[in-house]
A = this chain, B = another copy of it.
């Protein structure tokens, strides 16, 4: 494909995407295809000869589109907001179009330096001190793995340079709330700690980690001859956006020498609002933290910001220095390959740069405030309606609800919950994801897709009532 063919087809594709975004409200939010249906409509073997762009766009419309659940839809209330703001889509297009790679500073200086700049911009925006240095990773899962690897190596005095974790005699232990994201357990297992050495600390009535329970767990492990290594505090848990008390957890961590990692993947975006910063009070005492600019903030996935207080330690854990990557500039520059797992790196900073410049920070703040107000409105409606319950505090944009008809409880209540949410999703008019809380299914309403206005939340609430109340026995 020549640059001029690219130009022509690129214009068509930009139009296709603009039309897609404009027309989203008219599409069913959730994909309606059955397992294997999309696969079954695609050729089993790759094409020897080129296909025309018309054929490709036709397959896009007829095969791919029906198999999409539309995350950018104004009535998408599932999982979490993953806003691919149009400005950031353009920034990402630029990155791919340039086709440059950051293996080292030398391999593309602007790629590294713009990343330094935008990571620092976000640091300022969320109110962190300049003691923090940042890098863009793909996801919070990876960032948390990097954090636990750094914790492991600090606790063992760089065992990786000797016999590895397998040569350590005293078992290292890791702590998080029992409401922490599944990626914390996954990271701990991949880092080699083992499930027996990962503690799920109890939560309080608001689903936040109980620091007293953490303290007790740490003391029990010490008494049993184990070595407490790391604790992960969550600012905005997945189920309920609960807020672990970072300051209190930091005191336990400091007393016992634990690495403190703050998982603010979801709620980190909200820290651009000064009125929200109490939510992670104490964060300055952490060793590392992650916030996903690709969630609520609006940078297209993947754009996870990972901050550390001791970049030298991070580099010592992650660095490699093969000859073909060495250059005369090495002592004076950042080589971000040594700040994470992959060697090759996209020019991810561009999507964050374009988002911040084309939108301006004040507009992002206004959008997040709109979403918080919409969630508060919904929570008020739910609380004021007989038979409905809000199950957890609503500090941000997620409302955890259940419809509890009189006399329906236990597994019958679970069946009822899963049935009405399924009816909502099948309607195509909105998309919600259920989750368990205290062992029972409930429904998370996650407000915050970029085009979601109050009217969409009102329509959702009407739909929820209609689908839940029509059949109290679980239909």
Query: Separation in Å of the A3 CB from the closest CB of chain B?
Result: 4
Are B113's CB and A67's CB within 8 A?
yes
Interfacial chain B residues near A224, Cβ < 8 Å? none
Question: In the bound complex, do residue B162 and residue A165 qualify as a contact, i.e. CB atoms below 8 Å apart?
Answer: no
Docked Cα-Cα span, A165 to B197, in Å, equals 11
Q: How far is the CA of A130 from the CA of B344 in the complex (A)?
A: 29
Q: Which of B89, B145, B186, B194 contacts A165 (CB 8 A)?
A: B194
* Residue A75, interface by CB 8 Å: no
On chain B, the residues within 8 Å of A64 by CB distance are 110, 114
What string of 1s and 0s marks CB contacts (under 8 Å) between A348-374 and chain B?
000100101111111100000000000
A381 within 8 A of B: no
Number of copies: 2
Contacts of A134 in B (CB 8 A): none
A322–B238 CB distance below 8 A: yes
Q: Is the CB of A108 within 8 A of B68?
A: yes
Q: Does A22 contact B (CB under 8 A)?
A: yes
- The verdict on A69 contacting chain B, using a C-beta distance below 8 Å, is yes
- A164 touching B192 by the CB < 8 A rule? yes
Proximity bits, A9-20, B CB within 8 Å = 1, else 0:
111011111111
Tell me, yes or no, whether A101 is within 8 Å of chain B by CB. Answer: yes
Q: Do A194 and B56 have beta carbons less than 8 Å apart?
A: no
Is there contact, CB below 8 Å, between B90 and A13? yes
- Cβ contact within 8 Å between A7 and B1: no
- Would you give the 0/1 interface string for A182-199, flagging 1 where the beta carbon is closer than 8 Å to chain B? 110110011111111100
User: Are B300 and A96 neighbours in the complex by a CB distance under 8 Å?
Assistant: yes
Complex: A106 Cα to B434 Cα, angstroms: 13
Interface flags for A400-412 (1: CB within 8 Å of B; 0: not) read: 0000000000000
B17-A94 in contact (CB<8A): yes
A38 within 8 A of B: yes
Given known contacts A160-B189, A192-B166, A342-B138, is B99 in contact with A46 (CB within 8 Å)?
A: no
Interface: A163 (CB within 8 A): yes
How far is A355 from B367 in the complex, measured between Cα atoms in Å?
Answer: 37
Verify A35–B3 contact, CB threshold 8 A.
no
Contact between chains at A172 and B166 (CB < 8 Å): yes
Q: Chain B residues near A181: list those with CB within 8 A.
A: 322
A interface residues, how many (CB within 8 angstroms): 159
Q: B36 touching A113 by the CB < 8 A rule?
A: yes
Contacts of A39 in B (CB 8 A): 113-114, 116-117
Q: Is the CB of A359 within 8 A of B50?
A: yes
- Contact between A6 and B86 (Cβ–Cβ < 8 Å)? yes
Contacts of A463 in B (CB 8 A): none
Find out whether the CB atom of A50 lies under 8 angstroms from the CB atom of B357: yes
Provide 24 A-B residue pairs closer than 8 Å at the C-beta atoms, listed in order of the A residue.
A1-B358, A3-B22, A9-B90, A13-B90, A31-B110, A42-B117, A45-B124, A47-B357, A48-B362, A51-B358, A63-B110, A67-B111, A68-B108, A68-B109, A79-B103, A82-B99, A93-B93, A139-B344, A161-B195, A165-B192, A165-B194, A182-B343, A186-B341, A190-B318
Name the interface residues of A83-104: CB closer than 8 Å to any CB of B.
83-90, 92-94, 96-101, 103
A6-B90, A46-B121, A69-B108 in contact; A341/B195 too (CB < 8 A)?
no
A285 touches B (CB below 8 Å): no
Given B17, B50, B55, B197, which contacts A10 in the complex, CB threshold below 8 Å? B17
Asked if residues A186 and B320 are in contact (CB atoms below 8 Å), the reply is yes
User: Is there an interface contact between A300 and B99, defined as CB atoms closer than 8 Å?
Assistant: yes
For residue A223, CB closer than 8 A to chain B, the reply is no
A346 adjacent to chain B (CB < 8 Å):
yes
Q: Does A210 reach chain B (CB closer than 8 Å)?
A: no
Q: CA–CA, A121 to B43, complex, Å?
A: 9
Q: Are A166 and B162 in contact (CB under 8 A)?
A: no
A86 CA to B98 CA in the complex, in Å?
A: 10
CA of A11 to CA of B18, assembled, Å: 11
By the criterion CB–CB under 8 Å, are A141 and B342 in contact? yes
Task: Decide yes or no whether A125 CB sits under 8 A from chain B.
Answer: yes
A385 in contact (CB, < 8 A): no
- Contact for A109 among B38, B82, B83, CB less than 8 A: B38
Is A333 close to B, CB under 8 A? Answer: yes
Known A68-B108, A108-B69; contact A195-B162, beta-carbon cutoff 8 A: yes
Inter-subunit contact A100/B47 (CB<8 Å): no
